[in-house]
Every structure is written in C-alpha cells, then in structure tokens.
Structure 1
C-alpha cells in the first residue's frame, strides 16, 4: 500500500522525530511511503483567524501536492481535519471542488489509518512505564475519531495506561487561540496539567504535537519531569532488530 506522508508544520519544523517515527511504523507495517516535497501548510492558522480567501492558495497547493497519492497520512488529527473542510470551502468551484473531495476521501490521521485502513491494533511496540493520554479537540470533534489511539495503546507491551480526568477538555492551545487569548489559555492548560499530574503517570501521550507542546511546556515550567510523547513515537518503541523488518 502506497502512502504519502503529510508532515504538518509543527512536525516538519520542530519535531522531525515524530515524522520519522511515523514513517518507520508505517513501513514496518508493510506500507511504501513517499513525501511530496511541494507540501507546505494546510491553511488552518489563517483560515481559523477568518482569512478565508488568503488561505485558499495554501489549500490549493496541498491539493496539487497530493493529487496523485493513493493515501495521505498525517500525525495530527487537527491538520487532517482541515483537509476534510476543503470540500465545503471549495463547494461550487468547477476547478477545485472535485480535487477537494478527492483529498478528503484519501486523508487519514496516523492511528486512524493503522486501525481503520490496515486493520491492525497491535504493532508490536513495547514501552515500560505509566502513561496517560490527552485527547485533542480537533481530532475528536472535527475528525470524529475517539477510539483508534486507545485501541493501539492497549496493545503496547509494558505500558500501563491511566485514565485522564476531564479527558474531553481542551488544553488551551488551539493554535491562534493561545496567542489571542493567553489569559484564558493559561487557565485551561493549568487545569489540564493538574489532571495529568493527578494520574501519577510518568508519560503523557497524544496524537497532536500542538497539544503536547502546550501541556509539556506548562509541566516543564512547573518543574515536572513527565515525559511527553507523540503516539507515533510510542508505537515505534520496538527493538532495533525489529525496526528493519515488516510485521505484515
């Protein structure tokens, strides 16, 4: 199965190890990956700030970048959910509406693709520790995916997963929200950090680096040593001898 990697801005610029982990997991599961070099931002930051027309060039670029891809997989439910908004944004456009629909139909968040498309819930990962999982807003509410991260984490050998209180509450990041309304954002991340600490976990996992960057930054400022990991890094926690071989 051929898969094009949608890296997202945060992973591409700040957390390349997450992208690397995603590629290694997918290839271990038998996928052939590529990386269309013309991809840039999905347009979400400007779109969410109300600049619809100014966002369209970035969106058109992404549709062209992945036009010939069989599947498109990204490490962020938020960014993939933005792709799923394209058909409504370009509705009635004779040149771009069909391209928008095509991109939506073949775009998946990383864990969603593994479980729903590949039909796999155990990738052979092992990570010893006590962890809790933060459910990101856009992946839950816009992409509509709540289950796949938990189905995969339940099969990570050695990992003890603790439930997170107020699981559905936002961490306060929200991209531009944290910049425009920092006082409210700070209160939200304080609440989320307290819930993480209360679990007694030594690892915080999420499927979105924006959330992890926000919560992890707050925990660090509070002097906590809780490790933050994107779920791709967790699922790539296998012996080096295994990484080179396919599981399927």
Structure 2
C-alpha cells in the first residue's frame, strides 16, 4: 500500500529551483509514495518570523496550517522550512485556536532525507553521479531537525560518488536569511571559508538539503569562477536516472 504524502515546496525552491521540486516528486514516487500537492500553498512564514514580525508570520503560518491535513505525512526538501514549522510555530500557535491542528502538522512534517531513511527505511534509489563531494550541514538541518547521518547514508549509495568530510563541517555558510543582507561582509567571508574548505579536500560538488545555503555558496563560486558545483540532495538522488 502506497503512503500518501503531502508535498510542501518552499518559496526558495518554487521560485529559483523548480527542477528540485519536480525531482522531489519523482523521488517520492520511486520510494512508493502517492504524492499530493496543494497548489494553494504559499510560505511557511519564516522570513517574517526571523525578522521579528510575528503577527504577520502568524497570518502566513495559519494559512500554511489550513493548506495541509492532519492525516498524512508532510514532506519538504528543506530543513529550514521544516524546522520553522516544527519549532517556530510553537511561538506563534501555542494556546491559540490553531493549537491542536499545529501539533498534528508538527508531528507529521519531515525533511525529505529524514523521511526516506527513518520513516520509509529506504536508502538506495539507483542514482549515479561521478565525482568527489562534501555534504554541507545546514544550520537548520543539523540544529533544528537533528539531521546529520541521514543525507550521508543516502549519498553513500550513489554510484560513482565519493563523499568526503571537510574542515569546520558544522559551521554556517553565512546565508542566514536577512543576515546575508544586513551583514554582507561577514556573510561573504563565511561563504568564502566554506568553499575554501571544500576546495582543500578537492570537492567537485557541495551538496545540501537547503537551497538557500546552496544559493549563497554558488554565488561565491560563480563570482570567483571556481570549478565546483552546488547540488541539492534531491537532485543528486535523482541523477543518472533514465527519463521517467
């Protein structure tokens, strides 16, 4: 019996990396899921929440809660947005009219590597990508969603891919939402350090489960014409497939 999965595609992926969204659908279907996508969904409210506009964040968050049901798993290719729902919503909806619905959604929502490895117990998807890569632990993935081994387990089954660890593995890439705008110099220096650590282990790819981190790092890579590419975990796990 197929598991029904409601798909949450964050703003970043919807606007900038639509191929990652389509690959998420393919990956979940290959894992044996029936994928449900509510086209009315919008943002989870994280930008407003992080900027201190909690009333506005609550309005957006209430819409998010209305767009998903309490009956199915909710899966997202973003640890950042998953972390917002799991933790940020405690500040917005505890003891509110949405309290019970919020708790149900929080229990059901999973970042995709967590869902594949810990819920479905699936690790191999027949992907192939030849090269050397580092996995970038996003702050939200590591600290909010407690994801560390799951992406590495999935990547260990990708044919032709050598996964290596880099120095300061758990250090932030410098994006941090509005942090990158307010503190551009510090943000750029953090991106530079992350990319240089990847270069030091001869990585050809930087892989992560957060597109915002990848955007930050790819901007530095492009600016300095470095022979390296960032890739979302989902895009790696669907690499080398015949067209389906």
Q: 1:98 to 1:87 in 2, by over 3 A?
A: farther
Moved over 2 A (4+): none
Q: Is the 8 A contact 2:70 2:105 kept in 1?
A: no
TM-score, normalising length from structure 2? 0.95
Q: How does 1:1-248 map to 2 (within 5 A)?
A: 1-68=3-70, 70-85=72-87, 86-93=89-96, 95-240=97-242, 244=244
Q: What RMSD in Å do the two structures reach over aligned CA positions?
A: 1.2
TM-superposed CA distance for 1:72, in Å, is 0.8
Cα offsets for 1:60-94 (capped at 9, x unmatched): 0000000255011111101000110213421111x
TM-superposed CA distance for 1:168, in Å, is 0.5
What is the aligned residue count?
A: 241
Cα offsets for 1:115-164 (capped at 9, x unmatched): 01100122221111111111100111111111110010111111011212
Which ranges of structure 2 fall in alignment gaps of 5 or more residues?
none
Which ranges of structure 1 fall in alignment gaps of 5 or more residues?
none
Structure 2 CA distance for aligned equivalents of residues 89 and 10 of structure 1: 22
Aligned partner of residue 23 in structure 1, secondary structure: helix
TM-score, normalising length from structure 1? 0.94
Aligned partner of residue 24 in structure 1, secondary structure: helix
TM-superposed CA distance for 1:41, in Å, is 0.7
Structure 1 CA distance for aligned equivalents of residues 18 and 199 of structure 2: 27
